[in-house]
Amino acid sequence: MKKQSTILLIAPITILLVVVLILPLLAVLLPTVFEGGAVTLSRYIAFFQDPYYIKIFVRTLRIALVCTLVCMILGIPTAYFISRVSKKWRGILMSVALFPMLTNSVIRAFAWINILGKNGIVNQILSALHLVDQPLSMLYTEFSVLVGTIYLFLPLMIITLVGVMENIDNDMMEAAESLGASRLLSFFKVILPMSIPGIITGAVLVFTGAMTAYTTPQLLGGPKNMLLSTLIYQRAMTLNDWTGASVVALVMIVTTLIVMKGLNAIAGRLDKRGEN
């Protein structure tokens, strides 16, 4: 009876996912592996043999990995600080951290255009300080895409880690310090290992978002710094090559799953090492 109730409870969402997600995804992806009634991987082989596509693939992977690493470096100390303040200030700081997510991604991208453009705030400050003779070309570069992507997904890393770190008792830090460890060493020996599940979860969220983001790369990168997401749009909407766009989409999905599996494997090894 209990099993039947469980099936009835999960049946609606299962049917919904199959109808609106799995079936459309299969309808898009199956033509990429079938040609003339036979299974073929020629389209994927051609993708990885094309230097132009390889360049875009490597650029996308590099930006996603660097974005994830920077978000970890910035998010871990920020989340630790927020998790250790009083509940009143914690709520305020969490609101500040989440504020960028309340703004549309297009507006955020245009804000960075005003900041990084040749007549933007950064160049105006550098010129006023006489640090540059002419405006720097920071916009429509890989750097601008990376900055915009980090700004976009850093809040995800912070809120994920705060939820983990606020459950770590301060007594553990005090015990480590009483045994002679400095506060910094205590952080690396106590807080950081216990935060590994949250770090991995945050890294997966950030990497997945950075790998598939479209608006920020489109507005800040331009056509010269195309990523897989903007390549999909070009193939489908500009060239009307939906099969080619599906090939790129599947490459993106598989790459994301492989990296996620790798992160989970790293987390498993770190947990086993911590237990030992």
CATH code, 61: 1.10.3720.10
pLDDT confidence tier of residue 276, bands split at 50, 70 and 90: low
Per-residue model confidence (pLDDT) at position 11: 85
Put simply, whether the predicted model's pTM sits higher than 0.85 gets the answer yes
Per-residue model confidence (pLDDT) at position 84: 86
User: What is the total count of domains within the chain?
Assistant: 2
Same domain flag for 252 and 238: yes
Cross-strand pairs, 35: 38
pLDDT confidence tier of residue 228, bands split at 50, 70 and 90: very high
Same domain flag for 125 and 250: yes
pLDDT confidence tier of residue 22, bands split at 50, 70 and 90: confident
Per-residue model confidence (pLDDT) at position 272: 65
Average pLDDT, the chain: 86
pLDDT digits (tens, 9 = 90+) for 97-112: 888 888 888 888 889 9
Same domain flag for 230 and 94: yes
Same domain flag for 94 and 173: yes
Per-residue model confidence (pLDDT) at position 270: 67
pLDDT confidence tier of residue 271, bands split at 50, 70 and 90: low
Q: Which domain holds residue 8?
A: 1-39
pLDDT confidence tier of residue 163, bands split at 50, 70 and 90: confident
Same domain flag for 165 and 35: no
| Residue 64, both tokens | 């996603």
pLDDT digits (tens, 9 = 90+) for 206-215: 999 999 999 9
Type of residue at 207: F
pLDDT digits (tens, 9 = 90+) for 30-65: 888 887 778 888 899 999 999 999 999 999 999 999
Same domain flag for 121 and 219: yes
- Residue 187, pLDDT above cutoff 90: no
Same domain flag for 204 and 80: yes
Same domain flag for 28 and 126: no
Inter-residue contact 255 to 211 (CB < 8 Å): yes
Same domain flag for 181 and 164: yes
Closest to 266 measured CA to CA, from 216, 213, 193, 211:
193
- Residue 146, pLDDT above cutoff 70: yes
